[in-house]
Amino acid sequence: MINKNPKNKDKLVLALDVESFEEAKKIVDELHDYVGIFKVGKQLFTKVGPKIVEYIHSKKAKVFLDLKYHDIPNTVQGASKAAAELGVFMFNVHCVGGSEMMKAAISGVKSSKNKDTIVLGVTVLTSINEEILRDEIHVTDILADYVAHLALLAKNAGLQGVVASPKEIKLIREECGKDFIILTPGVRPEWAAAGDQKRVMTPKEAIDAGADYIVVGRPILAAKDRKEAAKKILEEIG
């Protein structure tokens, strides 16, 4: 049975990690009945621009604009206003930009016509491990403590949630409470290859652990039957 429960559909975020407008359009056409939110990242947005956002909206789906702003507050405020004016459902900024920068992102949204746009914080990228954090970036905190600290900083600055690895969900929930949004990539159904993702959870495990949204890319994009793959994930989290 197709699970078209909008609640489940809206928990599934598909990473549109493709190179062209044509490819992205084809995937949106194929999957907008099964996927509520499409993630548009730096590669696709740099190549294609706002027209992909407009196209996704024309199919009545939502957009997570994954551009991870990190700049001086004034610049982030302007970029955030521009993101909100595109009508995206959510976008993100790096927490290490600090409280003032995160507050500027929120005030950019509030000065736009789409005041409900969700702003998420990126804590520590999953490509950064304990060693890189300490030896290269010179942050001596334990990684998990640093993630929890940044999540709370984001919450106190007025952000609605964070992007986090599945492993960090529990800690962030404890630190930031039940209303704080957690969106998690690194999700792999049992039937899909892990690829370069190392610390994975299945969609059901991630939702059960407290994720509000799961980001899935290759398990759907590389599937022989993409609709079937998306449907299976919806059934699993349903």
Q: Is residue 28 a contact point for ligand C5P (CB under 6 A)?
A: no
| Of the residues 15, 201, 211, 234, which one makes contact with ligand C5P according to CB under 6 A | 15
Q: Is residue 217 a contact point for ligand C5P (CB under 6 A)?
A: yes
The span from the CA of 122 to the CA of 24, in Å, is 24
Q: Is residue 163 a contact point for ligand C5P (CB under 6 A)?
A: yes
List of E strands, the chain = 12-15, 37-41, 62-69, 90-94, 118-122, 161-163, 181-184, 213-216
**Nearer CB in complex with ligand C5P: 2/125:** 125
Q: Is residue 17 a contact point for ligand C5P (CB under 6 A)?
A: yes
| Of the residues 65, 151, 183, 215, which one makes contact with ligand C5P according to CB under 6 A | 215
- Is-contact 188 194, C-beta < 8 A? yes
**Active-site residue 68, yes or no?**
yes
- Is-contact 153 186, C-beta < 8 A? no
The span from the CA of 21 to the CA of 18, in Å, is 8
Determine the interface stretch with ligand C5P among 82-90, 94-102, 105-113, 216-224 (rule: CB under 6 A).
216-224
Instruction: Count Cβ atoms below 10 Å from residue 190 Cβ, excluding itself.
Output: 9
- Is-contact 123 69, C-beta < 8 A? no
Determine the interface stretch with ligand C5P among 81-89, 131-139, 213-221, 224-232 (rule: CB under 6 A).
213-221
Q: Is residue 73 a contact point for ligand C5P (CB under 6 A)?
A: no
Report residue 100: phi and psi, to 5°. Answer: -65, -40
The span from the CA of 2 to the CA of 153, in Å, is 40
Q: How far is the CB of 222 from ligand C5P (least distance, A)?
A: 8
Q: Is residue 169 a contact point for ligand C5P (CB under 6 A)?
A: no
Q: How far is the CB of 109 from ligand C5P (least distance, A)?
A: 21
| Tokens read off for 115 | 């005041």
What distance, in Å, lies between the first and last C-alpha atoms of the chain? 12
Q: Is residue 142 a contact point for ligand C5P (CB under 6 A)?
A: no
DSSP 201: B
Q: How far is the CB of 6 from ligand C5P (least distance, A)?
A: 22
| Of the residues 126, 151, 176, 237, which one makes contact with ligand C5P according to CB under 6 A | 126
| Of the residues 185, 207, 211, 231, which one makes contact with ligand C5P according to CB under 6 A | 185
Report residue 10: phi and psi, to 5°. Answer: -80, -5
Q: Which of 26, 39, 47, 68 is catalytic?
A: 68
Q: How far is the CB of 101 from ligand C5P (least distance, A)?
A: 19
Interface ranges with ligand C5P (CB under 6 A): 15, 17, 41, 125-126, 163, 165, 185-186, 195, 197, 215-218
